[in-house]
Amino acid sequence: MERQPAVYVLANGRNGTLYIGVTSDLVARVWQHRNHVVDGFTKQHGIGALVWYELHATMDSAITREKRLKKWRRAWKIDLVEQTNPYWRDLWPDIVG
């Protein structure tokens, strides 16, 4: 996958704990989360499944989107995931394949 700014949602299961992040390298960042390389929220809660992501043309637009999503109600975030990933499939194979 081409390196491009992205906003992403990770979960520890269907309708589980959600984590929203932004990165300039989606593959590398999700790998870090999946392998719990860095101590923090995702490691503490066992979060590693990529369930949604959105690519952006610029880091500024990605950061703006991330900030907006973090303010959303939980139900809206779940709806966002289920619009494109109704079964909460881990999208990791899609971005590394």
Q: Is residue 48, in this structure, part of any structural domain at all?
A: yes
55-75 average pLDDT score: 98
With a cut of 90, say whether residue 74 has pLDDT above it.
yes
**Residue 71 neighbours by CB under 8 Å, 6+ apart:** none
Mean pLDDT of all residues in the chain? 96
> Which run of H or of E encompasses 41?
helix 41-44
**Residue 59: which domain range?**
6-96
Question: Where do the DSSP E strands lie in the chain?
Answer: 6-11, 18-23, 49-55
CATH number, position 65: 3.40.1440
Alpha carbons 97 and 80: distance in angstroms, whole number = 24
Q: Is residue 20, in this structure, part of any structural domain at all?
A: yes
13-59 pLDDT per residue, tens: 998 999 999 999 999 999 999 999 989 999 999 999 999 999 999 99
